[in-house]
Amino acid sequence: MLRVIKWGFVLVVVLAAAAVGGIFYYEKQELTFSPAPLTFDLKSGSSLRTVARDLSAAGVIGEPLLFELIGRLHGNAPHIKAGNYEFESPTTPLKVLQKITRGDATQMSIRFIDGWTFKQMRAALDAHEAIKHDTQGMSSDAIARKLGIPDAQPEGWFFPESYHFSRGASDLAILRRAQRLMQTHLNAQWAKRAANHPLATPYEALILASIVEKETGKASDRAMVASVFVNRLRIGMRLQTDPTVIYGMGDAFDGNLRRRDLQADTPWNTYTRGGLPPTPIAMPGLASIQAALNPADSKMLYFVARGDGSSQFSRNLDEHNAAVNKYIRGRK
């Protein structure tokens, strides 16, 4: 009996040692993920078990149970700190654990504003002293190709949001994150688009959303603004929207849009050309994407600014002319 107990004890010790050895092997395993870096928002009050599960779901680590075990083995379970974390590839589970227990969260941030052009985004990135400027000297087309953007047209492909990062992060990495987020939102909203929508592709939705973004002065008008453009597209009427003309003028625009500008043909002049312009004219926010794909149910074909940020909508030219006389000429 003593012999059995002895060998049983030895077996338990061997198995325990093997388990511990396996855990220590796991904690030093190389973790790779693409695209990198991956960002992770660790919420205040999260337990080690919850964090392990969420890190696994985010693609940072593999098996959450093993990650939880190394956390408990190292005594780090009580020391997890909330924050926004950025993980470079390659890394290891132990380094991930050390990062979230040291509180090595990203300290820097940059915000891209709804309605900004790619040129404005680049200016903000270039002006940020904590960012590594890997795109300096690169053309917009070259950046788009580097990011794998279709047709090398970067305009509109980045989601307006605040992005947190560690000092020295590459501007290209930040752009890649913004691009991925825009693609995610665009795909999700495209799947929920209204039935019988005249737009044929998600990219057309991005173009229309950018116009809605630039034309909306009051958030509550956004769905109605979108309905005007969708109604025009349905009947083959030109969009005739000033922001597209201004975009097509580029640096030649001096703040004043003149009649001759509306008559000067460019690919973005929706007074001289039918349908959508060839590219977005800015980066739209989520609300504008939603409005473009699910516009208000209306028969409106025109709108004019009231002067207080809101718009007056009209079904026909006579109504529109009356609104122009009231809200535009009446202010002069």
Set out the domains of the chain in order of their start, with CATH numbers: 28-102 (3.30.1490.480), 114-188 (no CATH), 195-331 (no CATH)
Query: Which residues have C-beta within 8 Å of that of residue 80, sequence separation ≥ 6?
Result: 42, 46, 47, 48, 51, 100, 101
Q: How confident is the model at residue 332 (pLDDT cuts 50, 70, 90)?
A: very low
Q: What is the pLDDT of residue 84?
A: 83
For the ranges 32-41, 60-69, 189-198, the one whose mean pLDDT is highest = 189-198
Distance of CA 104 to the CA centre of its chain: 24
CB atoms within 10 A of CB 165: 24
Average pLDDT, the chain: 89
CA dihedral 148→153→155→158, nearest 10 degrees, is -10
In this model, does residue 159 exceed pLDDT 70?
Answer: yes
CB atoms within 10 A of CB 310: 17
Q: How confident is the model at residue 116 (pLDDT cuts 50, 70, 90)?
A: very high
In this model, does residue 287 exceed pLDDT 90?
Answer: yes
Strands (E) in the chain, as ranges, are 38-42, 83-87, 108-111, 162-165, 302-305, 311-314
Nearest to 108 by CA among 83, 80, 89: 83
Question: What's the CA angle centered on 216, arms 215 and 221, to 5 degrees?
Answer: 135
Q: What is the mean pLDDT of residues 312-323?
A: 95
In this model, does residue 79 exceed pLDDT 60?
Answer: yes
